Chain A
Amino acid sequence: GQNIDQPTEMTATEGAIVQINCTYQTSGFNGLFWYQQHAGEAPTFLSYNVLDGLEEKGRFSSFLSRSKGYSYLLLKELQMKDSASYLCAVGAYGQNFVFGPGTRLSVLP
């Protein structure tokens, strides 16, 4: 089976940098995804990592270490609109995505 862990809640200040961690245990790892979900809205895709290293996309970056079963999502120059839940999801061969519990991020002025 798969097991995914994320912090439940985080708080940061507008303009700051925040790192949201995700640890996972799975067999047949086939990629790690990050999704953003604003309250009352659909989750939207942010990033996909299948190889070790950092993927940068504007203010958002995602890092993966397959040997450690670890990923993080880095948000720079935080804005109020970044207040949302961030979902880590793991794909594995022969299986559908498994989602982590999500991290609710609050950005304060």
Chain B
Amino acid sequence: ETGVTQTPRHLVMGMTNKKSLKCEQHLGHNAMYWYKQSAKKPLELMFVYSLEERVENNSVPSRFSPECPNSSHLFLHLHTLQPEDSALYLCASSQDRPPHTGELFFGEGSRLTVL
């Protein structure tokens, strides 16, 4: 496998469910990110991890809980979500610690629908 892979690609959940999104990067990068992409809105940065430490949390509600067990894996744990949380959740990685000038490598995304 190469690049950044995300699972599941599609997820439908009720507001009381607990689920997790998984991201794995095979690029040897040091930084990993979660972005939210909603219809007709810019990509919103949610969390940044650098060398397995969370270095940024952009005022994301506590119903989203990230976890980075090692430099290759990143999770986003979801619980008691709201319908407005329905979006495409993109994982990305980059070589450098933030701030960086290198490019971001994105996964294919996990399309989340909250009923």
Mark interface residues in B63-103 (1 if CB within 8 Å of A CB, else 0).
Answer: 00000000000000000000000000010000000111101
B43 closest partner in A (C-beta): A99
- Taking a contact as CB atoms under 8 Å apart, the answer to whether A50 and B103 are in contact is no
* Given A87-B43, A94-B99, A96-B56, 5 extra CB contacts under 8 A: A43-B106, A92-B99, A96-B100, A97-B45, A99-B43
Q: Which residues of B contact A (CB under 8 A)?
A: 4, 33, 40-43, 45, 48, 56, 90, 98-101, 103-109
Task: List 7 contacting pairs A-B, 8 Å CB cutoff, sorted by A.
Answer: A42-B107, A42-B109, A43-B43, A45-B105, A91-B99, A93-B99, A96-B45
Q: Which residues of A contact B (CB under 8 A)?
A: 4, 8, 30-31, 33, 35, 41-45, 48, 50, 87, 89, 91-102
